[in-house]
Structure 1
Amino acid sequence: MNDISQEDNSPTIALVGFDHDLTAAFAGYNFGHRHLVHFENGMKMASAWVNDNLSIVAIISNSEIMGSAGLTLVETVKKKGLPSVPFFLIVNHLNANLRKLALEGGVTDVFTLPLRSSARIERRVAFLIDNWTQLKNNIETSNPSIRKIELGKRIFDLIFAGGALLVLSPLFLIVYILIRLESKGPAFYYSLRVGTGYRVFKFYKFRSMYVNADQRIKDLKHLNQYDIDATADGAERPIVEGGLCHQCQAYGKCQYPIFSDNVQLCEKEFRYTKKASSGSAFFKIKNDPRITRVGAFIRNTSIDELPQLWNVIIGDMSIVGNRPLPLYEAEKLTTDKYILRFAAPAGITGLWQVEKRGKGDMSEEERLMLDNVYAQTYSLKNDLKLILKTIPALFQKENV
């Protein structure tokens, strides 16, 4: 954080998560008599806001919408009872659905990188700060259309999860000891996941990987099962000779043309490039080298999922529902086609796990469609049927 005197309780604009380039750019911005104070992350900002009695009049955060300093920070500010101030995000990626999600979640405005007009940002921020008292009472927010969970389903969740935790407590102890004996690090861990209505919560599991395994994802992306399956399903780059692929050479011209701003493109080439650049929303690889020996066993038997029974008890999840997703996966699923899955309860097991798990032919598209089907049809009766089918699905046929 920048060192500035707060003795006069001067108005402050909090800048959260800024890198060197963004910090240098904002150094030239003119926000009048308001001070700019930099914070490494949202938690440090919230702590300083309370402990140092800062007079923060706006927050500008450099984070993706589903990132830890995006909607999660908005919720943190609300839960801590801090004053309502304009909240701005500076993001790399933005589309209509992401913008709608941000505004519904409490973000005041979103700017995309690279920032092109300092004057526009200065005017926008200043206007909203000056008029915030009047504006905040007129801002209407709407939540995604989420079906209310039946009372019977919630009662069943509490009875099932509570009973399971009691009965399985000896198994918890054994697994805890084995994990600690095999590798250094805690036996339990949590990661941030996105569940019902895009709500972010702490997702608990037994540790099945070596410590710092998440940092190796970048080096293993080329082994992603979903990307490999997509290529096998027809995402190969078309072979082009003389400007035409083999299928079009017999006709003497492209048979799959698309047009944009008077420029003709080949649809097959365009679809390949788009898929290759965007990548899959999900990440999973076969024979993952990050997994320990004990981890492989508890994964294949789904024992690693048992701590999520606590998530059920506290209301983050249900026994049956759509799997909550990591932030980087959920951020890619904001289109109208896939947003429905987040209207359903987040669950330990669900429709796609029972229908496809372990068969080796699960595509990303199939998984997402099954999530949507569950969101439209879930009920306590159907949940009981899925639970009865879950036990055979626990023992997978391949190590994925």
Structure 2
Amino acid sequence: MLYYIYIGNGQTAIDHLSKVTDGMFVTVSCADKAAVIIDGIRERYNTSILYEQTDPGKDCLDIACLHRRFPRVYITLITEGLQAEERKAYLLAGVSNTLPPQADAESIRSMTRFLQIRQKHKMQEFSRTHRKMLNTFHLPAWKRAFDVLFAACALVLLSPLLIGTAVAIRLESKGKVIYKSQRVGSNYRIFNFLKFRSMYTDADKRLKELNALNQYKLEEEIADCTPDIRFDELTGSPDEEADLLISDDFIIPEKDFLKQKAQSKESPFVKIENDPRVTRIGRFIRKYSIDELPQLFNVLKGDMSIVGNRPLPLYEAELLTSDAYIDRFMAPSGLTGLWQVEKRGGAGKMSAEERKQLDIKYAQEFSFLLDMKILLRTFTAFVQKENV
């Protein structure tokens, strides 16, 4: 999924670029509002800022601030042309590319291909860098033997369901039956995570068309959240200034910061009720976790175990590279795990920190007996239709 955040007010350029780009296209009037939106996007390597050139001095300040705050986001300047001295200033600020307001579709496709190659390279770089931090985890022989035996038996027993699901998906909509996404597993190793496809193949385009249905409507309905305050403009009383939170990029009253933080937790980037991108078959297989069954092939291949810590998307794994969480990746990646069955289906009510600590606990204590207990509780919770 590609995300384009257009900063500017040029309606002609906005109308044109929104038609030739694939993915989610959002327009905002200033860098502060763009920052709020980007904070809600997880796939930063798939995100590109399209910054409309206005005043080089102000532009470079805004772009430099965005680049420091979101170093993984690709910044493209929308301009008719640059002078030599302007080119250097924008480059130093963090601009990586330029496009004219009426860029043709081929130019956009070229940039898209580059972003995809860039994402793949960055992911490989992330994996290599962090694997050096670890004493490589090796799956015990007993666990690997159990995984192969369990996965093979399950695939044989569930083959009618797997075949029927594949046929139903293919009959309802064109496209590949299996969806692949890259996840980070044991030892920070990245692999292709398999699921049955539950969305239409043109889901990105549908999302773009359905942006108006987003119940949070990010485009220009975002309140002025981060005030544009400079250090030399602080003229409030000592009590007022004592309540300010100061970072490298912004200054904001603490009460406003806490309000924004609460809103960001409640409001995901895209939340559409009765999302029409999901197929009818997709809703059914998601409800009963049938879409997860292809991961049995991941188990046979050795990417995952039956029981372990769920493999994470890159954006989540990047947040867990400190010494406090590194043990989480010194364990098997699994179809089900300790936090999924903890509190008998109440895992969805757990905080992120509780889940992380349960993952670390499993990494440090896993055994054959613990795996059997987790499997039994997984089946019990599933029969009782609890949300695990």
SS at match of 2:179: strand
SS at match of 2:181: strand
- Given the alignment, which residue of 185, 202, 223 partners 1:195? 185
User: What letter is aligned with 2:295?
Assistant: Q
Structure 1, residues 22-52: CA drift from partner, whole Å, max 9, x if none?
Answer: 9x969x99xxxxxxxxxx699x9xxxxxxxx
For 1:65-104, what aligned pairs fall within 5 Å after superposition?
67-72=119-124, 74=125, 104=129
Mapped pair 1:344 → 2:344: no
Q: How far apart, CA to CA, are the structure 1 residues paired with 2:345 and 2:239?
A: 44
- TM-fit CA distance, 1:208: 1.7
Aligned to 2:302: 315
SS at match of 1:70: helix
Extract unaligned runs of 5+ from structure 2.
1-72, 92-109, 217-224, 226-237
Relative distance call for 1:223 and 1:166 in structure 2 (3 A) is farther
Q: How far apart, CA to CA, are the structure 1 residues paired with 2:296 and 2:245?
A: 52
- TM-fit CA distance, 1:221: 12
For the Cα contact (< 8 Å) 2:214–2:272, is it kept in 1? no
- TM-fit CA distance, 1:159: 0.7
- Identical positions, percent: 48
- TM-fit CA distance, 1:336: 3.9
User: What letter is aligned with 2:300?
Assistant: I
For the Cα contact (< 8 Å) 2:214–2:270, is it kept in 1? no
Mapped pair 1:326 → 2:317: no
Q: How far apart, CA to CA, are the structure 1 residues paired with 2:169 and 2:313?
A: 23
For 1:157-236, what aligned pairs fall within 5 Å after superposition?
157-213=147-203, 219=211
What is the root-mean-square deviation of aligned Cα atoms in Å?
A: 4.8
Mapped pair 1:378 → 2:366: yes
User: What letter is aligned with 2:139?
Assistant: I
For the Cα contact (< 8 Å) 1:286–1:399, is it kept in 2? no
Aligned to 1:393: 381
For the Cα contact (< 8 Å) 1:193–1:325, is it kept in 2? yes
For the Cα contact (< 8 Å) 1:319–1:347, is it kept in 2? yes
Relative distance call for 1:330 and 1:337 in structure 2 (3 A) is same
- TM-fit CA distance, 1:330: 2.5
For the Cα contact (< 8 Å) 1:63–1:70, is it kept in 2? no
Aligned residue pair count: 269
- TM-fit CA distance, 1:274: 5.7
Q: How far apart, CA to CA, are the structure 2 residues paired with 1:331 and 1:63?
A: 18
Structure 1, residues 44-76: CA drift from partner, whole Å, max 9, x if none?
Answer: 9xxxxxxxxxxxxxxxx98999x322142x5xx
Mapped pair 1:366 → 2:357: no
Relative distance call for 1:361 and 1:216 in structure 2 (3 A) is farther
Relative distance call for 1:265 and 1:306 in structure 2 (3 A) is closer
Relative distance call for 1:355 and 1:102 in structure 2 (3 A) is closer
Relative distance call for 1:303 and 1:146 in structure 2 (3 A) is same
Q: How far apart, CA to CA, are the structure 1 residues paired with 2:357 and 2:269?
A: 14
Structure 1, residues 75-94: CA drift from partner, whole Å, max 9, x if none?
Answer: xxxxxxxxxxxxxxxxxxxx
Relative distance call for 1:326 and 1:180 in structure 2 (3 A) is same
Aligned to 1:129: none
Relative distance call for 1:275 and 1:199 in structure 2 (3 A) is farther
Q: How far apart, CA to CA, are the structure 2 residues paired with 1:362 and 1:217?
A: 29
User: What letter is aligned with 1:323?
Assistant: R
User: What letter is aligned with 2:327?
Assistant: L
- TM-fit CA distance, 1:167: 1.8
SS at match of 1:152: helix
Relative distance call for 1:321 and 1:256 in structure 2 (3 A) is farther
Structure 1, residues 323-361: CA drift from partner, whole Å, max 9, x if none?
Answer: 112223333333444443222211111112212575452
For the Cα contact (< 8 Å) 1:185–1:211, is it kept in 2? yes
Q: Which moved more, 1:297-306 or 1:157-166?
A: 297-306
SS at match of 1:366: helix
- TM-fit CA distance, 1:394: 2.8
Aligned to 1:132: none
For the Cα contact (< 8 Å) 2:245–2:254, is it kept in 1? no
SS at match of 1:210: coil
SS at match of 1:325: coil
For the Cα contact (< 8 Å) 1:179–1:207, is it kept in 2? yes
Higher relative contact order (CA 8 A, sep 6+): 2
Q: Which moved more, 1:338-347 or 1:311-320?
A: 338-347
Q: How far apart, CA to CA, are the structure 2 residues paired with 1:18 and 1:289?
A: 30
Relative distance call for 1:398 and 1:320 in structure 2 (3 A) is closer
Q: Which moved more, 1:351-360 or 1:152-161?
A: 351-360
For the Cα contact (< 8 Å) 2:344–2:386, is it kept in 1? no
Relative distance call for 1:176 and 1:220 in structure 2 (3 A) is farther
- TM-fit CA distance, 1:217: 7.2
Aligned to 2:65: none
For 1:125-140, what aligned pairs fall within 5 Å after superposition?
none
User: What letter is aligned with 1:69?
Assistant: H
